[in-house]
Amino acid sequence: MSRRSIFCLVIAGAVLLPLRSPAPLVYSPEVGWIYERYGSEGKWRRTRAKDQLDVAQEAFDKGDYGLALRAARYTVKMWPLSDYAPQAQYLVGRCYEEKKNDEKAFAEYQKILEKYPKSDNVKEVLARQYLIADRFLQGQWFKLWGYIPIFPSMDRTAVMFDKVVKNGPFSEVGPHAQLRVGAAREKKGEYPEAVKAYETAVDRYHDRPQIAADALYRAGMAYQKQAKTGEYDQSMAGNSIAALNDFAALFPGDARVPGAKQAITELQLEQARGNYRIAQYYEKRKRWLGARMYYNEVANQVPDSPAGAEARRRIDAINNILEPKTAK
């Protein structure tokens, strides 16, 4: 007998031999493909929604999240309009969260807010979505197929926080989620998008002092970071100074005000340096009016500094060139 024939017989025997598997793969149109212990296939199913939910809850309480997930999903599939469906859907999300599949848990919680917006669990669901998004903000990695960690993503994190805001803009977590949309964008270096998120928080939650103060301060600091990315872009520095000045004026008792004022001073110095370089550029090319204008900016921004004093000297020199008779 040839080796090929022997191999075919072995394969046929393996396929035809009745083997007992400790965890056979079973398909159900309600819950899809699942593994069940041998001899217990379908025994977790009940004929009433309440009884089925009880199975799910009992399994969850015992830490059997696989069985709890099957029973909860079955409840939602078979009795989607029952009074027990929202709690069952909530358990689906809780099971995925316990199984460390946060992205899937977030999506399952979202179904509660879309299908059962009057559920008793809405407040807790929003809080859990917020905590999941915050774990990703702190650097938790997203997973491929729910199992393989691949990378952190501030884009996906910002989208999650944005959903939390849309789900409950004036909930307990909504304002904080709006701030964290900006924080996620900042972490990616997307400062214009971060500023936009913070300014949205300032406008929307102006009647909540702590949120408004945080948003205004963070907007100013995000503008500052953006200003440092461009060599001669003075507009971002100006926006940062304006935001931080507003913050210091509106919230004078905030502990961050001294730091904000220090940042303003540094930004003004940086603005002055940039304007001084531009003035020198024009002066070297004998474009006197342009040079004088930027030296004036320096003198106004930092009047008591050495740069301010030097700018005033350069202005006098340029005036002597432009108006020699008047200067005499």
pLDDT digits (tens, 9 = 90+) for 136-157: 999 999 998 878 888 999 999 9
Q: Beta-strand (E) ranges in 72-134?
A: none
High-pLDDT (> 90) share of the chain, % = 64
Average pLDDT over residues 70-77: 96
* pLDDT 10s digits, 152-195: 999 999 999 999 999 999 999 999 999 999 999 999 999 999 99
Distance (Å, whole) CA 131 – CA 261: 33
Number of other CB atoms surrounding residue 310 within 10 Å: 14
Flag whether pLDDT at 276 surpasses 70.
yes
DSSP letter, residue 323: -
pLDDT band at 324 (very low <50, low <70, confident <90, very high): low
**Which H helix or E strand runs over 150?**
strand 148-151
Number of other CB atoms surrounding residue 93 within 10 Å: 25
Q: Between the CA of residue 252 and those of 213, 220, 229, 255, 265, what are the distances in Å?
A: 10, 15, 29, 8, 17
Flag whether pLDDT at 7 surpasses 90.
no
Q: Which residues contact 291 (CB under 8 A, 6 or more apart)?
A: 279, 280, 282, 283, 314, 318
Flag whether pLDDT at 110 surpasses 50.
yes
**Which H helix or E strand runs over 85?**
helix 85-98
High-pLDDT (> 70) share of the chain, % = 84
Residue 8's pLDDT is what? Answer: 52
Residue 225's pLDDT is what? Answer: 87
Residue 42's pLDDT is what? Answer: 58
Q: Which amino acid is at 297?
A: E
Average pLDDT over residues 275-289: 90
pLDDT band at 38 (very low <50, low <70, confident <90, very high): very low
* 91 exposure class (CB count in 10 Å sphere: 0-12, 13-18, 19+): buried
Residue 36's pLDDT is what? Answer: 53
Mean pLDDT of the chain: 86
pLDDT band at 304 (very low <50, low <70, confident <90, very high): confident
* Half-sphere exposure in the Cβ direction for 243 (13 Å, CA): 26
